[in-house]
């Protein structure tokens, strides 16, 4: 069994530089930017010293609100070197969510880009902190955000109250290398270094506190499952603010010395162009991203024969999509990873040499040094092989807790250290896990438990269906009924009657969707998860349903 690494993010990066400092480390094709690992480390050191000059101490909170810019990547490892806790901000947040996160996380320094998808981040921040327009950079005194002092803008145009990124890098020159080395040496692998806010598909987002030890080891194990080496070149189009981007992506690459090739903002054509031009060997994505790439009208013209591996995760991975990634993209060693932010995030992953059935029907086996068990949701007793229950996990990867939410932490981590995922799963004799649904996604129709995942997988076999999401909606007679939201392939249509007759005789009658709605898209979190509760609300409104 591979041994656990007891190291910090800063020491990890320095170790890779000592082995292969002159090799390519970071490439941003959209920016024409290419850094060796040594050049990348130098950027991180300079930014780390800039943060120290700003007065940031070990354990202070620094938030970043931006897409996958080079500055985001540098900040990730700069904070890892000087000990500030990196608080990642969802790029889809708006004023209310941003204010909640900055206040709840006690953020003192915020880095942001100017705008995203026609929404001005700068204007939103001024709305929360009008005092910013009147103060000198670093002198903010905000009524609504009393902890926030420094705002750093990724961009070239000066804005009232804000430093520019170039100012930060200039400040770094007045802090010595020795001071940074001393700070870095004072960090401990068990220190919290990253705070990710859960996507908030239900309730208020919670700040998940992750340590160096949590994420460095998780990234190392993920890389080993993919057989990642210094020869690999990984295209990372998933957002950095989510664990998928900054642990399965950037950090996994650094543990293996692989080349990081980020995409600033997901666009299927850009991804295809970068994979071809940079001869990428690995590609990450949630299923909706892979679907967008495979179904792009220009897909056939790209030479993607360099692809070997990658990870599909973030939501259920449909069998048909997986087969197309293997056969049409050529990523025959693609892996599936499963987990949640609270577990750093990966709990289980398929391996590159798993047979295709395992890779499309399961989420693999647990990672090294990780414990898993499946328990009966009511009794807490472990269930047997193949029996469904709640998946629990324990090990180095379990978060330190939710920031300032002790009660919420106790609700998910029990006294013996087991994290209760809230996911329903089965585990076979060989330890392969199947995720069968969420405890709260389960549909109960007339006393029958129905798991949406099972119906979704069946509907994916319909030749006209591109994507499908199944939810339970209120019903006066049965308590709940099944509803399917379907996306069809271009130029196709399916009526509710056609869909139901397709199901007839194939799945139990009580599982056949009573309601069918054709949609162009689903409500999503920025990390690519479908918000099923919004689909349920939408269905109840449209169908004027209520529980009677």
Count of H helices and E strands in the chain? 18, 28
Please provide residue 87's backbone torsions phi and psi, each rounded to the nearest 5 degrees: -100, 115
Summarize the confidence of residues 539-546 as an average pLDDT.
79
**Counting beta carbons within 10 angstroms of the beta carbon of residue 48, is it exposed (0 to 12), middle (13 to 18) or buried (19 or more)?**
buried
Listing DSSP states for 491-503 in one string gives: T----HHHHHHHH
Q: Give SS3 for 176.
A: coil
* Contact yes or no for 68/182 (Cβ under 8 A): no
Could you read off the pLDDT of 405-443 as tens digits, one per residue? Answer: 999 999 999 999 999 999 999 999 999 999 987 777 778
pLDDT band at 2 (very low <50, low <70, confident <90, very high): low
pTM of the model: 0.87
Q: What is the DSSP letter of 422?
A: E
Q: Give SS3 for 312.
A: strand
Q: Which domains does the chain have, with CATH numbers?
A: 38-197 (3.40.50.980), 443-542 (3.30.300.30)
Is 537's pLDDT higher than 90? no
Lowest mean pLDDT among 194-203, 301-310, 338-347: 194-203
Question: Which is more confident, 26 or 450?
Answer: 26
Question: Which is more confident, 29 or 438?
Answer: 29
pLDDT of residue 201: 45
Would you state the structure tokens that stand for residue 97, as one six-digit string?
């969510």
d(CA 75, CA 91): 16
Could you read off the pLDDT of 316-351 as tens digits, one per residue? Answer: 777 788 889 999 999 999 999 999 999 999 999 999
d(CA 98, CA 121): 10
Lowest mean pLDDT among 6-20, 338-352, 522-536: 522-536
Could you read off the pLDDT of 449-459 as tens digits, one per residue? Answer: 787 888 998 89
pLDDT of residue 547: 44
Lowest mean pLDDT among 52-61, 241-250, 304-313, 469-478: 469-478
Question: Which is more confident, 199 or 91?
Answer: 91
d(CA 483, CA 403): 37
pLDDT above 90 covers a percentage of the chain that reads 79
Is 206's pLDDT higher than 80? yes
Q: Name, of 229-233, 480-484, 510-514, the range with top average pLDDT.
A: 229-233
Listing DSSP states for 511-540 in one string gives: GS-SEEEE-S---B-TTS-B-HHHHHHHHH
Q: What is the mean pLDDT of the chain?
A: 93
The residue written with tokens 């349920």 in the block is 536
Is 200's pLDDT higher than 50? no
pLDDT of residue 548: 37
Inter-axis angle of helices 70-82 and 177-185, to 10 degrees? 70
d(CA 119, CA 124): 8
Lowest mean pLDDT among 14-28, 164-178, 190-204: 190-204
């Amino acid at each position: 069994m591979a041994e656990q690494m007891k190291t910090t993010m800063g020491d990890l990066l320095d170790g890779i530089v000592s082995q292969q400092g002159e090799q390519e480390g970071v490439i941003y094709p959209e920016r024409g930017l290419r850094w060796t690992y040594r050049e990348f480390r130098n950027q991180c050191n300079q930014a780390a010293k800039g943060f120290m000059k700003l007065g940031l101490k070990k354990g202070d909170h620094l938030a970043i609100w931006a897409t996958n810019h080079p500055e985001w990547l540098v900040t990730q490892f700069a904070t890892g070197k000087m000990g500030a806790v990196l608080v990642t901000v969802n790029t889809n947040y708006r004023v209310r969510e941003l204010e909640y996160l900055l206040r709840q996380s006690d953020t003192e320094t915020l880095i942001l880009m100017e705008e995203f998808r026609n929404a001005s981040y700068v204007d939103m921040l001024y709305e929360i902190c009008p005092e910013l327009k009147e103060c000198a950079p670093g002198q903010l005194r905000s009524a609504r955000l009393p902890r926030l002092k420094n705002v750093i803008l990724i961009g070239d145009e000066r804005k009232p109250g804000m430093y520019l990124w170039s100012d930060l890098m200039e400040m770094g020159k007045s802090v010595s290398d020795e001071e940074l080395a001393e700070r870095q040496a004072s960090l401990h692998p068990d220190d919290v270094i990253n705070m990710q806010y859960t996507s908030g598909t239900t309730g208020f987002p919670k700040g998940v506190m992750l340590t160096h030890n949590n994420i460095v080891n998780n990234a190392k194990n993920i890389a080993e499952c993919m057989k990642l080496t210094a020869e690999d070149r990984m295209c990372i189009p998933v957002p950095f603010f989510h664990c998928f981007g900054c642990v399965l992506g950037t950090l996994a690459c650094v543990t293996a010395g692989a080349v990081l090739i980020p995409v600033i903002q997901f666009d299927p054509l850009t991804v295809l162009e970068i994979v071809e031009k940079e001869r990428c060997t690995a590609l990450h994505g949630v299923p909706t991203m892979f679907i967008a790439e495979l179904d792009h009208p220009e897909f056939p013209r790209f030479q993607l024969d360099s692809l070997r591996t990658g990870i599909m995760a973030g939501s259920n991975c449909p069998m048909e999509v997986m087969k197309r990634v293997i056969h049409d993209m050529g990523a025959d060693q693609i892996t599936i990873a499963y987990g949640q932010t609270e577990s750093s995030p990966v709990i289980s992953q398929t391996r590159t040499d798993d047979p295709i059935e395992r890779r499309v029907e399961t989420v693999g086996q647990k990672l090294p040094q990780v414990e898993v068990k499946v328990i009966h949701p009511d009794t807490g007793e472990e269930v047997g092989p193949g029996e469904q229950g709640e998946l629990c996990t324990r090990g180095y990867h379990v978060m330190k807790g939710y920031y300032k939410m002790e009660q919420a932490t106790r609700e998910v981590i029990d006294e013996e250290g087991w994290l209760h995922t809230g996911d329903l799963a089965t585990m076979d004799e060989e330890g392969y896990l199947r995720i069968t649904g969420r405890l709260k996604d389960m549909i109960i129709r007339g006393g029958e438990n129905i798991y949406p995942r099972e119906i979704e997988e069946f509907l994916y076999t319909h030749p006209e269906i591109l994507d499908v999401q199944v939810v339970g909606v209120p019903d006066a007679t049965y308590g709940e009924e099944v509803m399917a939201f379907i996306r069809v392939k271009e130029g196709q249509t399916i009526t509710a009657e056609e869909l139901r007759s397709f199901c007839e005789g194939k799945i139990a009658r009580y599982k056949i969707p009573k309601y069918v709605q054709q949609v162009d898209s689903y409500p999503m979190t920025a990390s690519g998860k479908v918000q099923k509760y919004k689909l349920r609300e939408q269905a109840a409104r449209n169908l004027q349903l209520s529980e009677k």
